[in-house]
Every structure is written in C-alpha cells, then in structure tokens.
C-alpha cells in the first residue's frame, strides 16, 4: 500500500514537500514560469474566478468536490490564480512590520493557500485514480512549478526568520500544547527543506527540488505506461485450467481495453491470481517476467536513468543540508532516527524469515518432484505451487473461500469494527458527485448523530488508475474553521460482470481493512490545526493505524458474522474458518523475504556514494546476494517500478517503515488480547485518543506510549509471523 497524503494547508504541504510523497512534493514545471504568473491578464483572472468551479465556493453536501462541473481545462487557469494568491498571502506574512506572534505568523500560514490546497487535492487524486493524456500533460507541467512554488516559501528568509523567532522563544510564549507543537513541527520542516541555506546553495536547493518533482512524475508515468501496454491473451484452452473468477476478470479486462476475448494484465489483482492458479508453466513465466520487468524494458518507458538522476539529486540535496546521505536525512525525521536502526530491525527479522522461506522452498520442490517433473524451482513456480501446498496442507480451495468474501459484506465489516471501537456509524449517500461511476460515498456520523466526515470508496481496477491500494483525501480535518475531513480509499479489485457479486480473497479483504485504517486515521482526526491533522505523522508511524486495523478481520467474531456465502447467506463453516486461521502464518517466509529484499535495496540505494554510475540490475543482484536471498524470491517491487521509492519521497529510504509499523501493530493489538476483549472500551479509547484522533499533536513514540503504556517490543511481530522460535 502507498498512503497518499495531502496536507491540510498549502503552507504545510510546502513545508513538508521535501519529505512527503510524490503527490505532495511533485507537482511539476520550471521556476521561471512559476515566478512570472503574476503577469496573467487581470480580465482573464477575473473571468476565471467567476466561471471556474475550482475557484468558486462549492454548493454541495459538506463542500464535496463538484465533479459534474470540473473539467480538465479548468486546472491550469485555476492554478494560475491560486498560485498568485498564495504568493501574495505569504509575502504579506513575511513582510508584516509587526513582531512575529503565533497568530500573525503560524496561524496566518495555516489559513493561507486555501484555493491552492483544494485544487491540488482534487487534481492529484485524479492523476492517481482517473488519469488520461490531458491530466498527465498537466501533471508534467505543474509538478515542477508547484515544487518551485514550495521552495520559494520554505526558502523565504524573512518568513523563516519569523518562524525561528517564535521557535527560539517557545518557553517564553503562552501557547497551548498544540500551538507549541505546530511551531516545532513547522520549524523542523522548514529547516529540513533548506530554510537555513544561503546564497548559491539556496538557489541550487530550489532547483534540485523542482528537478526531482519532474523526475517523480516521469517515473510514475513510465511505470503506468509500461504496465498498461502489456496484456497476455488467453485461448479457450488456456481458460479451461483457470478458476471461474479469473476467467470473468480476464473477460472484463479485455472489455475495458476494447478487446475481444480474455486477457491477463499487469494489475496485481489480475497477474497474481493467474500466477497462483495457471497450470501453464510457459505462460506463468511470460507473465512473471513481464510483471517483474515493468519500467526496465528496451523502450521509452525505461526508468533506469531516471533512478540514477533521482538518487544523485537526492544525495546532493542531503549533503547540502549537512547529512552524510539521503538515508540519514530521511530517517532523521522518523521514529527510527538513523539508517542503522532501520537496518538493524530488518536484520533482526531477516534471518528467521530466510530460514522459513528455505523450508517453504523445500516443500515446493517436493511437490514438483511428486508431480514427476524435473525442473528447478523458479520465481514463476512459487505462487502456483504455494497455492497447491496451502490447499493440500489446510484443505483450502481459494475459489471456495472467495464465496464467503463478498466485497459489500467486507465493507460492512470494516464499518462495523469502527462502530464497535470508536462509536461512529456510516450512511451511504447516492446524491454526491464522484469522478467515476464506480466510486461510492458514505457519511460518517458520531454517537450524537452528527456528520463528522465523508468517506469515498473506489475499489475496482481500470485503465487510467495506478496499481496498488492507497488512502488520500479531498480535504483534511480543520480545527480552525470546523471543516470535516473528506477521505478516499482506492483499491484495485477485479470488477465483476453486471449482476455478479464482487468476490475477493482473504488477502484482498485484509487490504481493504488496511486502507480503511488509514481512512479512519484521517476521518477521526481531531486536532486544532490542519497541518497536524490525520496522517501528517512520521513516515514510520503512519502505517501503524492501518496495520493494527487489519487484525480485526482475522478475528473469528468478525468472520463468523460477515464472511457469509454470497448465495446462501450461510456463515463460513467453522472448520473452514479454523483452517483459514491456521494458514495465517503460511508462506510468511516468502512474503517477509520478498518485502525485506525491497527494504534492503531501498536503503542501499540511498546510502550509495556514487549513484550516477549505478547499473540498476547489477546493484539489485549484489544487494540481494549479500543477504544470501533465495534466487526464486525477487524484490516485492523491483527498482524500475518501485513507486514507493521513486515516484516521490514518501517511502524513499523508508520502505522499512512497514516492518517498523509491524512491530507497533502486533505489539499494539496484544493490548486488546491481554484485555480479553477485541473491543475492550478502555483500550479502544486509548487507541482513539493517542493515535487515531491525535494526528501529529505529539511525537510518534509519545503517542504510542500514550496508547500502550510502554514502548513497543519486537516479540509480538515474530510470534505473529510464526518466527517465535527465533526470538531471543
């Protein structure tokens, strides 16, 4: 999963651009163009303000985006007006002749750039969820321009002087705890964005940020183009060996592309089930190689040089700020604190995970031999034989299991858990405009029946939508003006044929719960200032609310209630449920090694001293060989399609954070099991108060301790993955 964060105010987005994901930091074009937009014709600007829906008040339920009125042609004119307005607001704050106060500096910054924030939230959600050639062209133009605009603010010497004055006087000011926290966070973010640089370094830093923004857009668009260009046509003979749900999805994928017949695509929801179930080894190899080579093919979408440029610029950026490497820079703003601490955590899990993966490989090799085959185990065999070993060992048929996991029931389950834990309920609205017919919208109500959030669910794969699953927002919670949050979850499940139910795997259902955990982190936010709201927390803490929420799906109490047969309504049989839970740690060696392969390579890239000369495939191979990684298990995300790391800075030198959060979520959920009730009211209240509603109102470790009563311990993670024997 990649969490897509849009910060609560334009100023906060700018201050955090250097350490945010692509959708924040990117936003592309050149500095000169950005700085000359004040010349926009006054009459044209006035007309745009009247006719452009992005620049007018939204007379919609809860101020939701009026997608029935917004067109691609509205974005560039709206950006021109919003950029000019925000520049004027920032200049007024920076040059205010009055001595800096919290109100005339920090609060004024929080309120500035409202139009720019609103436009960007809508636009960058569309670049991920409903892109097309026109949107991609606008993204290529605007990403560097927005990065340049961001730099012009964080590198504004007068503005930073006011922030620093407040920061240096914190103990003398009569501030609330959140006001003090906002000063501290803003000062840290400006410093990390180069505010203390001078002269040529200041100018070069701004140039680097703009260049990186363009490269992030280029990387993501190359990956999407390579992924969407590939299909594997299936004959009637090929279809005969596949489960019905894959046949149906393959027909839908062909129809979406205006093709006849059936095709497998490189959407994870298409290719992974095919690799798990297709008896045609030759076709599995073709699909596996295509899946792993996205962005590294001999065509215009090759990302190797883009990676080298990104790494070189990041290292230069970190060095200018006084850091040894970009890895030191990135981890310096997280719970881990240093690359060594992040690597040490990965090392602690690596060796028991590798040992388990080798045991899993031996099981697969035995099955290959039992089938009378003499070929070696390869990457394209692992998922296929693993599914057979799993079915044999736990007597689980994936098609049969899916019959009990209807998407609508799983959505109902995620809402039910939120109600039991946090007292909120959800009411679907069909009168709110969306950007695609598949998108659904719900109100979130508190215990008093007040609407306190709006939630969008976009669950199906389609052309123009990037792969994976993520959470983002159209509006963050704003304690200043009372705006409720508007949050969206994106997944990429296969859309069923008309009239057919959407059946998902248990893994898909876990992803649904994961993203809704992120969604609740935004929806339940209750902070005084938008820059501290929701998911605006340390990168290696942001996954904690999502990953702990997954645990509720695994509880028999939830599955017995919501995992019901889509035709009969009968609950999942007790013996099947028992076998499903017993299979929970199955193949964890593979899954953990696959993840850690990407984590080690990500960190190694950002510690490398000469990234400009890297040979990408050789560097990957050497890093994995140094860990004695099994050859059949590649990186979960190979470099040339590693969106987490190279489509932005959100998870760069930070992919390890999923494992870090794994320590938090397994240790954290044990608080509920220790209480003897997965909905224990006191534990749930502590989780709400310290985590889900608190945003970035205190340091992440303080927030965790506030919930758990102590710092996290790694033992729970090892037990959860079946590695308990390695503990100690």
Helix (H, G, I), strand (E, B) or coil at 179: helix
Q: Is residue 579, in this structure, part of any structural domain at all?
A: no
Boundary of a domain, candidates 292, 313, 339:
292
Residues 460, 125: Cα–Cα separation, whole Å: 15
Tokens coding 59: 């007379």
Residues 363, 590: Cα–Cα separation, whole Å: 12
Q: Is residue 522, in this structure, part of any structural domain at all?
A: no
Domain co-membership, 168 together with 96:
yes
Q: Please write the tens of the pLDDT for every residue from 663-711.
A: 999 999 999 999 999 999 999 999 999 999 999 999 999 999 999 999 9
Domain co-membership, 109 together with 198:
yes
Q: Which helix (H) or strand (E) holds 427?
A: strand 425-429
End-to-end C-alpha distance for the chain, whole angstroms: 30
What is the pLDDT, as a whole number, of residue 722? 84
Burial of 184 (0-12, 13-18, 19+ CB in 10 A): middle
What is the pLDDT, as a whole number, of residue 523? 98
Domain co-membership, 215 together with 139:
yes
Helix (H, G, I), strand (E, B) or coil at 570: coil
Boundary of a domain, candidates 223, 251, 274:
223
Residues 216, 650: Cα–Cα separation, whole Å: 11
Active site residues: 515
Residues 132, 85: Cα–Cα separation, whole Å: 28
Tokens coding 417: 């858990």
Domain CATH for 52: 1.10.1370.40
Domain co-membership, 216 together with 89:
yes
CA torsion, points 102, 183, 179, 10, in degrees to nearest 10? 80
Domain co-membership, 155 together with 213:
yes
Res. 229: pLDDT tops 50: yes
Q: Please write the tens of the pLDDT for every residue from 445-466.
A: 999 999 999 999 999 999 999 9
Q: Is residue 559, in this structure, part of any structural domain at all?
A: no
What is the pLDDT, as a whole number, of residue 50? 56
Tokens 């705006």, located at residue:
483
Boundary of a domain, candidates 202, 223, 244:
223
Name the DSSP class of 104.
Answer: I
What is the pLDDT, as a whole number, of residue 724? 60
Domain co-membership, 181 together with 264:
no
The residues near 188 (Cβ < 8 Å, ≥ 6 apart) are: 333
CB 128 within 8 A of CB 490: yes
The residues near 508 (Cβ < 8 Å, ≥ 6 apart) are: 269, 405, 491, 493
Across the chain, what does the average pLDDT equal?
Answer: 91
Domain co-membership, 211 together with 186:
yes
Spell out where 246-357 has E strands: 262-265
Domain co-membership, 217 together with 125:
yes
Q: How many helices (H) and strands (E) does the chain have?
A: 33, 7
Question: Which bin fits 676, alpha (ψ -120 to 50), beta or left (φ > 0)?
Answer: left
Cα distances from 332 to residues 346, 417, 653, 668, 726, in angstroms, run 17, 35, 11, 24, 30
Domain co-membership, 172 together with 320:
no
Tokens coding 662: 């794994």
Domain CATH for 317: 1.10.1370.10
What is the pLDDT, as a whole number, of residue 158? 97
What is the pLDDT, as a whole number, of residue 720? 86
DSSP per-residue codes, 460-484: E--TTS-SS-EEEEEE---TTT-PP
The mean pLDDT of 352-368, rounded to a whole number, is 94
Q: Please write the tens of the pLDDT for every residue from 392-447.
A: 889 988 889 999 999 999 999 999 999 999 999 999 999 999 999 999 999 999 99
Closest C-alpha to 487, from 555, 551, 418, 406? 418
Q: What percent of the chain has pLDDT over 70?
A: 92
Q: Please write the tens of the pLDDT for every residue from 711-726.
A: 999 889 988 888 864 4
Q: Is residue 711, in this structure, part of any structural domain at all?
A: no
What is the pLDDT, as a whole number, of residue 727? 40
Domain of 270 in residue numbering reads as 230-292
CB 214 within 8 A of CB 313: no
Q: Is residue 165, in this structure, part of any structural domain at all?
A: yes
What is the pLDDT, as a whole number, of residue 33? 27
Domain co-membership, 94 together with 45:
yes
Residues 260, 239: Cα–Cα separation, whole Å: 14
Res. 481: pLDDT tops 90: yes
Q: Please write the tens of the pLDDT for every residue from 564-595.
A: 999 999 999 999 999 999 988 899 999 999 99
Domain co-membership, 185 together with 256:
no
SS (H, E, C) 29-62: CCHHHHHCHHHCCHHHHHHHHHHCHHHCCCCCHH
Give helix 304-320 / helix 616-626 axis angle, nearest 10°: 70
Tokens 């610029």, located at residue:
313
Domain count, the chain: 3
SS (H, E, C) 283-297: HHHHHHHHHHCCCCC
Residues 165, 157: Cα–Cα separation, whole Å: 12
Q: Is residue 631, in this structure, part of any structural domain at all?
A: yes
Closest C-alpha to 596, from 346, 338, 348? 346
CB 233 within 8 A of CB 263: yes
Q: Please write the tens of the pLDDT for every residue from 13-55.
A: 433 333 333 333 222 222 222 233 333 343 344 444 458 999 9
Q: Is residue 680, in this structure, part of any structural domain at all?
A: no
Better pLDDT: 20 or 337 = 337
Domain co-membership, 63 together with 202:
yes
CB 471 within 8 A of CB 4: yes
Q: Is residue 455, in this structure, part of any structural domain at all?
A: no
What is the pLDDT, as a whole number, of residue 476? 97
What is the pLDDT, as a whole number, of residue 51? 85
What is the pLDDT, as a whole number, of residue 16? 34
Tokens coding 75: 């974005």
Q: Which helix (H) or strand (E) holds 79?
A: helix 75-94
The number of beta carbons lying within 10 Å of the beta carbon of residue 157 is: 12
The mean pLDDT of 107-114, rounded to a whole number, is 98
SS (H, E, C) 488-541: EEEEEECCCCCCCCCECCHHHHHHHHHHHHHHHHHHCCCCCCHHHCCCCCCHHH
């Amino acid at each position: 999963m990649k969490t897509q964060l849009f910060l609560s105010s334009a100023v906060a987005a700018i201050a955090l651009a250097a350490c945010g994901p692509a959708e924040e930091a990117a936003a592309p074009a050149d500095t000169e163009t950005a700085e000359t937009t004040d010349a926009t014709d006054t009459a044209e600007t006035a007309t745009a303000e009247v006719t452009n829906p992005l620049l007018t008040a939204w007379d919609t339920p809860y101020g939701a985006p009026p997608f029935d009125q917004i067109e691609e042609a509205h974005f560039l004119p709206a950006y021109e007006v919003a950029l000019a307005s925000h520049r004027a607001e920032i200049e007024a704050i920076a040059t205010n002749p009055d001595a800096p106060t919290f109100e005339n500096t920090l609060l004024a910054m929080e309120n500035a750039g409202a139009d720019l924030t609103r436009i960007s939230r809508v636009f960058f959600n569309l670049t991920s969820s409903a892109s097309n050639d026109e949107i991609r062209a606008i993204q290529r133009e605007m990403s560097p321009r927005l990065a340049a605009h961001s730099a012009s603010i964080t590198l504004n010497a007068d503005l930073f002087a006011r922030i620093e004055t407040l920061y240096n006087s914190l103990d003398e000011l009569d501030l609330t705890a959140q006001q003090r926290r906002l000063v501290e966070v803003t000062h840290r973010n400006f410093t990390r964005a180069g505010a203390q640089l001078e002269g040529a370094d200041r100018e070069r830093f701004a140039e680097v940020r703009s260049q990186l923004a363009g490269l992030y857009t280029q990387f993501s668009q190359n990956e999407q183009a390579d992924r969407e260009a590939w299909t594997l046509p299936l004959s009637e003979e090929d279809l005969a060996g596949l489960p019905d749900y894959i046949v149906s999805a393959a027909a839908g994928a062909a129809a979406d592309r205006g093709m006849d017949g059936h095709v497998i695509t490189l959407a994870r929801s298409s290719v992974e089930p095919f690799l798990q179930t297709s008896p045609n080894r030759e076709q599995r190899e073709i699909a596996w190689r295509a899946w792993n080579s996205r962005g590294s093919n001999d065509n215009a979408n090759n990302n190797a040089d883009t990676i080298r440029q990104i790494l070189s610029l990041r290292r230069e950026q970190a060095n200018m700020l006084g850091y040894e490497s970009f890895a030191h820079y990135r981890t310096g703003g997280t719970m881990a604190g240093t690359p060594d601490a992040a690597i040490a955590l990965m090392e602690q899990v690596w060796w028991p995970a590798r040992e388990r993966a080798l045991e899993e490989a031996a099981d697969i090799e035995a099955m290959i031999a039992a089938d009378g085959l003499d070929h070696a185990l390869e990457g394209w065999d692992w998922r296929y034989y693993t599914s057979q070993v799993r079915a044999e060992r736990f007597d689980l048929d994936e098609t049969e299991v899916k019959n009990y996991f209807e998407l609508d029931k799983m959505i109902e389950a995620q809402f039910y858990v939120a109600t039991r834990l946090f007292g909120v309920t959800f009411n679907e609205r069909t009168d709110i405009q969306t950007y695609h017919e598949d998108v659904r919208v719900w109100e979130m109500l508190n215990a008093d029946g007040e609407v306190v959030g709006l939630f969008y669910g976009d669950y199906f794969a389609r052309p123009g939508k990037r792969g994976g699953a993520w959470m983002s927002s159209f509006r963050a919670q704003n304690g200043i003006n009372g705006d409720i949050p508007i949050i969206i979850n994106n997944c990429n499940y296969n859309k069923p044929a008309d009239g057919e139910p959407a059946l998902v795997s248990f893994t898909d259902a876990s992803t649904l719960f994961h993203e809704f955990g992120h969604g609740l982190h935004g929806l339940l936010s209750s902070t005084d200032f938008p820059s501290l709201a929701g998911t605006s927390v340390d990168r290696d803490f942001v996954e904690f609310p999502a990953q702990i929420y997954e645990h509720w799906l695994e509880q028999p109490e939830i599955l017995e209630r919501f995992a019901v047969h889509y035709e009969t309504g009968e609950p999942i049989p007790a013996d099947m449920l028992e076998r499903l839970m017993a299979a929970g740690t199955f193949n964890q060696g593979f899954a953990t090694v696959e993840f850690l392969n990407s984590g080690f390579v990500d960190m190694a890239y950002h510690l490398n001293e000469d990234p400009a000369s890297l040979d990408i495939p050789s560097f990957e191979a050497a890093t994995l060989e140094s860990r004695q990684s099994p050859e059949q298990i590649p990186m979960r995300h190979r470099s040339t399609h590693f969106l987490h790391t190279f489509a932005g800075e959100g998870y760069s030198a930070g992919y390890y954070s999923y494992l870090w959060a794994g320590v938090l979520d397994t240790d954290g959920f044990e608080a509920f099991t220790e209480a003897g009730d997965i909905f224990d009211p006191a534990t749930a209240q502590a989780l709400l108060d310290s985590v889900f509603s608190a945003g970035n109102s205190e340091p992440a470790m303080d927030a965790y301790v506030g919930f758990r009563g102590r710092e996290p311990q790694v033992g729970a993670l090892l037990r959860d993955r079946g590695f308990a024997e390695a503990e100690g």
